[in-house]
Structure 1
Amino acid sequence: MSTTEQARTPGALRAGPQEYAFELASVNRLLGGPDYSSAVGSCVEGDRMMVALMRMKAGTGAEPHSHPNEQWIFILEGTFHATVGGKPITATPGTLIYIPSDTLHQGKAGTDADVVFFTVKDTSHGLHGIKAV
């Protein structure tokens, strides 16, 4: 049985013993970065990795932030305009973005459509990052 008590991310689903398949689009609903991002979606955590399926409404985005865990973002729908470590990136469906640990980054959905992305992080830290000051 799954439990949220063991999840590093508040509201995330913690995979339980003998749980191997999840309907990621409907397991839960949480903010990708409560104080810096408009991304909303679902998150499942395992022992060493976590995954999330997130949606960012057109024209909205994430302010500059970082986190101690590295991250992969795979764009499924829409156009994502990001800056990672000072480098601008325009990502369309099929693009995979790598964000090293402790690297300042930000991103915004294009104005014409929502961005849907799948993201993976290690569990050395939760899903949420730390807003830059």
Structure 2
Amino acid sequence: MAVGGDIIEITFNHPTVGSGVILPKANEDSTYDLGGFRSNDDANMVAGNGEMIDQMNRVRWFIELVIAWDMNVRGDLEKLVELAESPVEAEWTITNINGTVYGGTGKPVGDMQGNGNAATFTLKVSGGNKLKKIVG
């Protein structure tokens, strides 16, 4: 039986920014791409004799989700901006309600804009190699 649901927490550990725990908002979608190699999905990738041309390219891993933003106390958005500004990647773990934990090396990418009304912001973390399952 497939069991999905919330991401319980995301942790990071960075050599100069430090470590921390980020709390995702409950009952929100999350998107995972484990990274690695992909074959290009192009109907024209075929030779004159009909044989497939398999164009394979590496893609980086990522996870994208909505974070609960306590701007009064926690300072998550500020810390994540620091991580994004650093040229050094951090170690990340993503813990799911079903017990699985994924881990990878990467950094926040893209825009991080807080929604003051909803007390949330969208976070996308991405890195090289693969996002690997370390528990579960």
Q: Taking structure 2 as the reference length, what is the TM-score of the superposition? A: 0.35
| TM-score computed with the length of structure 1 as normaliser | 0.35
Q: Larger C-alpha radius of gyration, 1 or 2?
A: 2
From the two aligned structures, give the one with the greater helix fraction.
Answer: 2
